[in-house]
Amino acid sequence: MPATQPAMPFFIILNAASGHKEAGDTRSIISRVMREAGREHHLRLVENPQDLAEIARTTVAQANQVGGAVVVAGGDGTINTVANAVLPSACPLGILPSGTFNYFGRTHRIPEDTQEAVRMLLNASPQPVQVGLVNDHIFLVNASLGLYPKLLEDREAWKQQYGRSRMVAMWAALASVIGARRQLHLHLTRGGEVASWRTPTLFVANNKLQMEQIGMAEADALDKGFLVAIAPRPVGTGALLWLALRGALGTLGQAGDVRSFALREMEVRQSKRHSRSIKVAVDGEILRLHEPLRFKVSPQPLYLLKDTVSTGGAA
């Protein structure tokens, strides 16, 4: 585990893509709390989302040179991009959640209020956190293919028109489910065994809070070094809507039309391939990855800055 010093400098990455006014307010809060605490900090504002990955890599290098920590302010997708740069270096990572659902931050009891989150960072220490990988791309919350990536694309279109809120996201999801038609034909290899599944979507989870909220019995497996795969059986639109409702009510795990299991490694291929790549949603961002898809638990944890007093120790 990386060592930390009480006055370790913070190298802060702030994603301004969601709006300059909101980013300006967040920047002011961060700077004020850091100045009041006398903490050395360096803040980098990301104006263009396409620059985020490169800025993350250079920021990690700067932090490592002086024994500092990287801090990212943004939603789960922004956090994911910065975590991809942080993971190989074992540099401590702090987060200031500001997305729609903030599953990663909420799982680790990091306040969604920026001022409270910054103050928590001042006394936090790095704790190991499990990371999922799909073809060597990190996922901290989930990775999925099929209906779920389509849902995320539709949700983004709705947000552009109606604004960012959890209610807008829910209505977008409903519209996506109603319009769902395509079934995936998948071969899943796990522990030497191969299963052939037809399903509208395959969802691989790495977030206990999300699993608890939809009512999956395997949620506790995420504390034991596993990921959780979930796939509904081929069903009609009405049954798919019923499954979505059961997820909202926290009873999805009791549905007979849902298959799920814990895994440490799994390979996934399409039985009918129209191309060599497939859309995969990774922590809310859409990637196009080459088959086969290889899901696994990363041998290297992420060292997340957490307040061990309020969180009750490492997760």
Least confident range from 34-38, 103-107, 150-154: namely: 150-154
Peptide linkage before 301 cis (omega within 30 of 0):
no
Least confident range from 149-163, 266-280, 283-297: namely: 149-163
The Cα–Cα gap between 252 and 258 comes to 8
The Cα–Cα gap between 206 and 222 comes to 6
Name the helix (H) or strand (E) containing 143.
Answer: strand 142-146
**Torsion over CA of 53, 99, 21 and 158, rounded to 10 degrees?**
100
Domains and CATH numbers, the chain: 10-131+300-311 (3.40.50.10330), 138-297 (2.60.200.40)
Ranges assigned E (strand) in 122-226: 125-129, 132-134, 137-139, 142-146, 184-190, 193-199, 201-205
**Residue 134: alpha-carbon gap to chain centroid:** 12
- pLDDT value at 280 more than 70: yes
- pLDDT value at 62 more than 60: yes
pLDDT tens digit string along 221-233?
Answer: 999 999 999 998 8
The Cα–Cα gap between 95 and 101 comes to 14
Across 158-177, average pLDDT: 49
pLDDT tens digit string along 87-137?
Answer: 999 899 999 998 778 899 999 999 999 999 999 999 999 999 999 999 999
What is the token pair recorded at 53?
């990955």
Across 176-181, average pLDDT: 51
- pLDDT value at 309 more than 70: no
Q: What is the pTM (predicted TM-score) of this model?
A: 0.83
